[in-house]
Structure 1
Amino acid sequence: MSDTFKPTAAVAKQAARGLELRQKFNRGGTQVGVARARDLKNQRNLSEDTMKRMKSYFARHKVDKRAKNFGDDDNPSAGYIAWLLWGGDAGRDWVKEQLQ
């Protein structure tokens, strides 16, 4: 395992979309989520500790995917926006693969 992890283009794209939706709808995510999205969008190298926090986020928030309007870009749920801020499904899959 390397000391740092560079987010993929797919992860960066999902984070950027989350930032756009958060700005447009003024909901979803915390300041920590916004900071994470900025790092992901800019494909900054992440530490192993950050990767573990991301893994933990996805484990805790997978239930958000059951919410009404999850995945709806026209009227997204706050949970959907937050999920995207952390890299979306691409982020979840990338973190899982990297931490194996």
Structure 2
Amino acid sequence: MPWPLPDENWFGDTSNQPEPDREDLRIEALVAQRLSIDWTTRRQQIVVSVQNRVVILAGVVSDPNTRQVAAELASDVPGVFDICNTLRLSGPRRSHYHG
């Protein structure tokens, strides 16, 4: 790989980076909607983000079943490539569950 010339700005201004992909935004909205409607997940603290069609679930849920249901609801949205489920369990059971 050649060294950059002094007038080449390889690491500078990132203001002309592309906006989030429309498909990612669509998926994010659909997943959030499904989670807010489903009786298992609607009262949970779940944050949804999407990058390159991979849904990232973050936050705190009450039990392992809710964590699993959230991932299943997200995976049922058309266009989802994968799920990154980082949901944590609230309360003392958190340290006993490895899923």
The alignment's TM-score, normalised by the length of structure 1, stands at: 0.33
Larger relative contact order (Cα-Cα within 8 Å, sequence gap ≥ 6): 1
The alignment's TM-score, normalised by the length of structure 2, stands at: 0.33
Structure holding more strand per residue: 2
Structure holding more helix per residue: 1
Q: Report which of the two structures shows the higher radius of gyration computed on alpha carbons.
A: 2
